Amino acid sequence: MTRIVLFAFLAISTGAAQPSDLIFYGGKIVTVDPSFHIVDSLAISGDRIAALGSREDVAKFAGPGTRRIDLKGKMVLPGLIDSHSHASSASMYEFDHPVPDMETIDSVLRYIRSRATVSRPGDWIVVSQVFITRLREQRFPPSWMLPPRAIPSISVPAPTPRSTRSR
């Protein structure tokens, strides 16, 4: 029994004795634990977090080859991976003008009219954030309500003909 306990103690202490590869210190590290604690320092070994806590506590995980980075008060947030992101679209969505919430067909048409007043002839007016499930009417506007019939000041480019040549 004594040998098993001693062996377990040696295995644990040997693992803890390995110095970390990287230590961040002097920052605001958001732990995202149940209490969202913010700590000063973080030690990383391989691809795992080895320690979180005060600079003094985390310094115990340093060795001669440990790289140390002073955060100078900056914040570290956990990395989030979004496998379905439209970052470029989201960043440009309201780049040149605010887009209002549109909950009815009338509000969609009002938006199109407002864009027509500032658009040049031939410009496209794109309405990308209107979903049938979010409109009270639960349908899109019928074609007779859309430009150019309903809003003559908007020019709608003709579709480009496709080649009918067979290959």
Which residues have a Cβ under 8 Å from the Cβ of 78 and sit 6 or more positions away? 30, 32
Per DSSP (E only), the strands in the chain are 22-25, 28-30, 38-39, 41-45, 48-53, 67-70, 75-76
Is 116:154 a contact under the CB 8 Å cutoff?
Answer: yes
Question: What is the pLDDT at residue 7?
Answer: 35
Question: What is the pLDDT at residue 14?
Answer: 41
Domains, in order of start, for the chain: 16-76 (2.30.40.10), 87-145 (no CATH)
Q: How many helices (H) and strands (E) would you count in the chain? A: 4, 7
Residue ranges of the chain with per-residue pLDDT less than 70: 1-17, 80-83, 147-167
Question: Which residues are bridge partners to 52 per DSSP?
Answer: 42
Question: What is the pLDDT at residue 155?
Answer: 54
Global pTM exceeds 0.75: no
User: Which two structure tokens, joined as six digits, stand for 59?
Assistant: 């310094």
